[in-house]
């Protein structure tokens, strides 16, 4: 069982940040709201951050994923067919953090979309379709032509370079704004780094990861 207390501009942002640091989905934790926060005068001065405590549930991740594996493959096939996208093969496999679906297709560039936006949207739909039951909810990841793997390798290099820079200079390092999935990967990569810690700042599409020396 792991436990973390974390701040954010809103309760929702604090929860998202905590889940990223723990590397789990929301259904795998108990959430206790310590402070809902408060806006300052005219929303500009004296803002009080929200604070939550997340505690991982006993036995989280113990769900049998064999049925989810089969359903994920079938759902991915149907979604791509409805979109008119061709594929040569779809495989689904059980991973440590959920079920991974891999698509082989000549239309991979259309499945990925600009900066992976279409792939993210398809993955989101898969999770909505397969996670209607909260008790058996699990993380579904979707990839094609190793796009996710290559992206993770790129983020891994960026994260470790940022940590090295912070360790050597003592200065805070701020990444460019990035999607929540990429922020989560950065948090996970540096979670066990003995010298630095990470958090997110900003709103919406401008939210970014910040790396600083541990106190």
Residues 211 and 154 in one domain: yes
For 198, counting Cβ atoms within 10 Å of its Cβ (0-12 exposed, 13-18 middle, 19+ buried), the class is: buried
Domain boundary among 130, 145, 160: 145
Write out the residue range of the structural domain in which residue 131 sits.
66-145
**Mean model confidence pLDDT for the chain:** 85
Round to whole Å and give the CA distance between 66 and 154.
31
Residues 75 and 137 in one domain: yes
Residues 175 and 213 in one domain: yes
Instruction: Quick: pLDDT tens for 139-184.
Output: 899 999 999 989 999 999 999 999 999 999 999 999 999 988 899 8
Residues 150 and 135 in one domain: no
Residues 74 and 141 in one domain: yes
pLDDT of residue 1: 60
pTM check: above 0.75: no
Residues 111 and 100 in one domain: yes
Q: How many domains does the chain have?
A: 3
State yes or no: pLDDT of 44 exceeds 80: no
Contact 200, 17 (CB under 8 A): yes
């Amino acid at each position: 069982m792991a436990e973390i207390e974390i701040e954010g501009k809103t309760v929702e942002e604090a929860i998202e940040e905590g889940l990223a640091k723990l590397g789990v989905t929301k259904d795998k934790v108990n959430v206790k709201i310590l402070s809902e926060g408060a806006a300052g005068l005219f929303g500009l001065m004296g803002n009080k951050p929200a604070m939550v405590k997340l505690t991982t549930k006993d036995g989280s991740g113990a769900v049998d994923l064999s049925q989810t594996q089969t359903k994920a493959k079938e759902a991915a096939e149907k979604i791509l067919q409805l979109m008119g996208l061709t594929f040569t093969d779809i495989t689904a496999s059980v991973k440590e953090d959920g079920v991974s679906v891999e698509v082989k297709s000549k239309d991979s560039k259309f499945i990925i979309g600009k900066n992976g936006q279409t792939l993210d949207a398809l993955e989101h739909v898969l999770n909505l379709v397969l996670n209607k039951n909260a008790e058996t909810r699990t993380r579904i990841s979707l990839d094609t032509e190793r796009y996710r793997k290559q992206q993770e390798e790129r983020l891994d290099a960026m994260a470790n370079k940022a940590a090295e820079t912070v360790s050597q200079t003592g200065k805070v390092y701020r990444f460019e704004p990035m999607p929540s999935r990429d922020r989560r990967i950065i948090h996970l990569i540096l979670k066990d780094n003995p010298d630095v810690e990470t958090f997110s700042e900003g709103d919406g599409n401008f939210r970014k990861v910040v790396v600083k020396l541990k106190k």
